[in-house]
Amino acid sequence: MAEFATVIDAATLAANLAAPGWLVIDCRFDLKDPAAGRAAWLDAHIPGAMYADLDSDLAGPVTSHSGRHPLPAVDALIATFSGLGIDGRTQVVAYDDASGAIAARAWWLLRWLGHTRAAVLDGGFAAWRSDERPVEAGAVTVAPRRFRGSVRADAVISTPEVLCALRPESDFQLVDARDPARFRGETEPLDAVAGHIPGAVNLPFAASLDAKGRWRRREELAQLWAEVRQNSRSGNWAVMCGSGVTACHLALSAVAAGIAEPRLYVGSWSEWIRDPARPVATGPG
């Protein structure tokens, strides 16, 4: 069976929707209305799709030192994936209605625990509905499976490691997925401090998508990353955003482009600014 490990189109998913070993996860979520995603899933979803909540399933409890979406405890995440019906042979397809921004977090968490048979639906729920494909309403239940996860310690980078890595003599590169106005510090709708980490470069996550919100071709993504990383071709790099969610979209973009997978700065900007002694920059970077 073919393995889909980055992005999958709606036609391919439709052709395999009833295939044994395939599982769909609905990741729709609204940061301003956390209950809206589950309500949307109950109203209409891809047939058989389970629901994963960003706050309660794809993130752990916020602490006074963490960012807004810390990683779940490993045991809790394993239990979540098991309860969703995922085991080592399952082909997972995650979707949302946010250009893959939330679905990519589910994709990344699966990879973090060693499960590479996971993909994000290109175009999300809108792409599924565009050709009048079937949907269903109401809750979905599946038989739990035994998910066996093994943490990839090299997949993440901590705040102390970022501080150390950003020394002038380092070849480390940090890429920030937030929109340019937030990166430059001109506006900040979510966090208490505006700006960016000194030395970071900006690549809004939507740059990996075309005007219709679909993923760019592999060659286009490779060119995009070549331009961003032209002064840093080493594998010593990481991605970040506001809270470690849309940064996963950049990680997916890099993998889809065929370049070295970055580490994820999970805490991202919302954790960085917890300590006012950490430096903050504004402007284009």
What is the rounded CA–CA span in Å between residue 265 and residue 190?
18
pLDDT tens track for 18-76: 999 999 999 999 999 999 999 999 999 999 999 999 999 999 999 999 999 999 999 99
What is the rounded CA–CA span in Å between residue 270 and residue 110?
23
Asked whether residue 142 carries a pLDDT value surpassing 70, the answer given is: yes
Q: What is the pLDDT of residue 169?
A: 80
Catalytic residues: 241
Q: What is the pLDDT of residue 131?
A: 86
When pLDDT is averaged across residues 219-239 and rounded to a whole number, the result is 89
Alpha-helical runs (H) found in 166-272: 180-184, 218-228, 246-257, 268-272
Q: Residue 129, exposed/middle/buried by CB under 10 A (0-12, 13-18, 19+)?
A: middle
Residue of 171 and 192 predicted with greater confidence: 192
Neighbouring-strand partners of residue 8 = 121
CA neighbor of 88 nearest in space, from 150, 11, 171, 174: 150
- Sign of the four-CA dihedral 154, 160, 166, 171: negative
